[in-house]
Every structure is written in C-alpha cells, then in structure tokens.
Amino acid sequence: MKFIEKLLGSPTGLSKKTTKSAKKKFHLLKAVYEMDKASVNDLMKRLALSFPTLNTLMVDLVERKYLIQHERGESLGGRKPNLYQLNDNLFKVLTIEINRKSILIALLDNNCNILNEPQTYQFEISTDLSELPAFLIIVRRYLKEHKLDLDLITGISISMPGLVERNSGENYTYFYEAGFNLEKHIEHEFNKKNDYC
C-alpha cells in the first residue's frame, strides 16, 4: 500500500471530518518535509493551526511512526523546543541525473537516505528524441537489476542539462520536439502521475 493511501485511507466511505483530518495530516507532513526539522511553534505559524488541533494531528502521526522527535532545538532562554522530522523510508523516489555523456540513477527515501547503490550508465543525450528509447531502456534496466517494484516507488525525479521551462517541465535543449513534454511522457511510461493535494 502506498504512503499517501495509508495516510488518507480509502477515499470511499470516509466521513467529511475524517477526510479533512487526513488532508491536514498530509499538509503537516509536507511542511515538516520542507522544513527538514520543525518545532511545534514553527508548524503552528506555517499551517495556521491552533495548538490543540496541531497537537492532536502530531500525536497521531508520532504513534503511526510517520513523525519522530529528532532532537531539541536552540533556545534564547527557557526550555529548548522539541524538533520533529519525518521518519525514514516513508516514501521512495527514483532519482535520475542525466548528464551529456552519462546517467546516474539511485533510489532515495524521503530523508535522502540512499536505498540502492547509485549506478552510472554510459549515455549520450540527444537534442531530439532519437535517444529517448535508449534512456527509457536504461531506467527499466536499473529497476530490473535492483529488483525494484514501481508500485513501491512514490515518484521519479529527473535532473538534466538544458533550458528547462519550470512550470511545464519542457526542455528546449535536449529531448526536444515541438509539443513533446518529457515530464508527461515519464508519467505515462512509468504510471507515476504528478498529483498534488
């Protein structure tokens, strides 16, 4: 079962209150991820939640082992605040670094822990789509060699050279063809939809 599905539960049969609580938990986890380590006060400000509401959400997430207390933060006086972070291995991301002459692939968890040995493959990127099939073969080869189940991978992250349009994900230098979008192509090829709550 995927991380978000475990958190949100099955979409059918949930009450409005349960759905609202699950969305708050998702936004809380997202805020902790973006902040790396966060105190309760930081999270209250960022999410505009009252202490009782935030505390209820955090107790549940700590009990489920999604959040862990990491350490105590700095203090200018008084008690040092508890800092929370995401537990390891909540979700996995296949990271692909495309260079002009090679591809580096690795599997990381949400805290950037390396889960599979990074591997470099010889590859020469093309300005057109001529080398796209070879690129996809290399990604599938890595998945097969490391016996990785795509259903257990939450997302795929790609970095590559060239002039990239941030919002659409289009690269106007490499793998370029009018109307072609690499991000959407990867979503389709590996069934990893770009969804945001």
CATH number at residue 77: 1.10.10.10
What is the C-alpha to C-alpha distance for residues 42 and 28, in angstroms, rounded to an integer?
11
Confidence of residue 194 (pLDDT cuts 50, 70, 90): low
- How does pLDDT run across 143-189, given as a tens digit for each residue? 999 999 999 998 999 999 999 888 887 889 999 999 898 888 999 99
- Report the CATH number that the domain containing residue 169 is assigned in CATH: 3.30.420.40
Is residue 56 located within the same domain as residue 34?
Answer: yes
Cβ-Cβ contacts under 8 Å for 135 (sequence gap 6 or more): 98, 103, 123, 125, 175
| pLDDT of residue 98 exceeding 50 | yes
Q: Tell me if 152 is assigned to some domain.
A: yes
Is residue 65 located within the same domain as residue 124?
Answer: no
- How does pLDDT run across 14-29, given as a tens digit for each residue? 677 777 888 899 899 9
Is residue 59 located within the same domain as residue 100?
Answer: no
pLDDT score, position 15? 74
Query: What residues does 72 pair with on adjacent strands?
Result: 82
| pLDDT of residue 195 exceeding 90 | no
List the single range of 72-76, 109-113, 143-147 with lowest mean pLDDT: 72-76
Confidence of residue 72 (pLDDT cuts 50, 70, 90): low
Is residue 34 located within the same domain as residue 18?
Answer: yes
Is residue 105 located within the same domain as residue 177?
Answer: yes
- Count of domains forming the chain: 2
The number of angstroms, rounded, from the C-alpha of 115 to the middle of its chain's C-alpha atoms is 14
Is residue 50 located within the same domain as residue 78?
Answer: yes
Is residue 51 located within the same domain as residue 105?
Answer: no
How many Cα neighbours within 13 Å face the side chain of 38?
23
Is residue 104 located within the same domain as residue 60?
Answer: no
Q: Tell me if 195 is assigned to some domain.
A: no
Q: Tell me if 197 is assigned to some domain.
A: no
What is the C-alpha to C-alpha distance for residues 171 and 161, in angstroms, rounded to an integer?
9
Among 53, 86, 119, residue at a domain's last position: 86
| pLDDT of residue 9 exceeding 90 | no
Q: Tell me if 169 is assigned to some domain.
A: yes
For residue 152, give the DSSP letter. Answer: G
| pLDDT of residue 113 exceeding 80 | yes
Q: Give the residue ranges of DSSP H helices in the chain.
A: 3-8, 16-35, 40-47, 51-63, 132-145, 182-190
pLDDT score, position 143? 96
The number of angstroms, rounded, from the C-alpha of 160 to the middle of its chain's C-alpha atoms is 18
Q: Which domain holds residue 165?
A: 92-190
- How does pLDDT run across 35-71, given as a tens digit for each residue? 988 999 999 999 999 999 999 999 999 999 999 987 6
Is residue 100 located within the same domain as residue 175?
Answer: yes
Q: Tell me if 19 is assigned to some domain.
A: yes
Is residue 103 located within the same domain as residue 34?
Answer: no
pLDDT score, position 1? 39
Region 127-132: what's the mean pLDDT?
96
Contact present, 197 and 26 (Cβ < 8 Å) = yes
